[in-house]
Amino acid sequence: MNKFRTIRKIVTGKHTVDGAGVKLVRVIGRDDTKEFDPFLMLDAFDSVDPDDYIKGFPWHPHRGIETITYLIQGEVEHGDSLGNTGRILTGECQWMTAGSGILHQEMPKASERMLGVQLWLNLPAKDKMVSPKYHGLRNEDIPAIDEGDRQIHILAGVYGGKTGAMEGDYCKPLLLDVEVRAGAEWSLDIAENTTLFIYIFQGAGTFGSDRLIPAKHAVLFDETGTFLIRASDEGIRFFLMAGEPLQEPIAWGGPIVMNTREELQLAFRELEEDKFIKV
């Protein structure tokens, strides 16, 4: 018989305001880095009131991480110090490798509904200072597999023999947007000792037990066994994130995540001295 992954922790996160006044839920953050390694932060947003988000995230720096912004619904304009500009639209994703340092801005536009997440993925120590890079993943770039009662959108990694829109140049996570219809099941074999968690966008489901977990919850699973979901009578849609832990020290200061305090202090000193951008 299959051994199914059991639930290790359920979190709802904390309502907060970030950027120039964006209301969001910080699902995981600074205090969760050990359990969720290599994932650093997950912010979730869901609003039908543009006043909650249109002030956006004006120009700000990043170093030492990758940011992955995925929209289920909405529109976000963006620009960065590499000269990239564009829009993230419904069903699309922005994957940015901050590396040695980048400045960017993200400005949500008024939409019928703004629903999505931003995930911070750590960079290994040896790759913290790689050249920054930007990937805009359009709808047509993100493969979707229709399994009848289930539909799986593959943002990163490999599922069902199909390679996703990204592999990841440094950490190589599996990132799936999964829709399961009412009452249906879906299972996935994940390598042992891999961090696995989900964030439920809509609906509810059970995960190898009778406990029903509703939308707006994140679920962290134990490190061995098959992942199993049974959708409730309303179905479920969730974001699945899996990755191999880095098990490295973390020095975190706002938008910059390094390995040592000295590296962090250098980054902020370079910001003050206008030496932050390397390319």
The tokens for 68 are 């992955």
**Is 270 annotated to bind ligand?**
no
The answer to whether the beta carbons of residues 56 and 105 sit under 8 Å apart is yes
The answer to whether the beta carbons of residues 212 and 277 sit under 8 Å apart is no
Q: How far is residue 79 from each of residues 18, 136, 231, measured CA to CA in Å?
A: 18, 11, 38
The three-point CA angle 41-114-181 to 5° equals 85
**Is 62 annotated to bind ligand?**
yes
User: In the β-sheet with 93-97, what is the strand arrangement from edge to edge?
Assistant: 14-18, 22-28, 39-47, 114-122, 65-73, 93-97, 133-137
Tell me the one-letter amino acid at 255.
P
The tokens for 144 are 């979707």
Strand partners for 15: 25
**Is 60 annotated to bind ligand?**
yes
The answer to whether the beta carbons of residues 165 and 101 sit under 8 Å apart is no
The answer to whether the beta carbons of residues 76 and 125 sit under 8 Å apart is no
**Is 106 annotated to bind ligand?**
yes
Binding residues for Fe cation: 60, 62, 104, 106
Binding residues: 60, 62, 104, 106
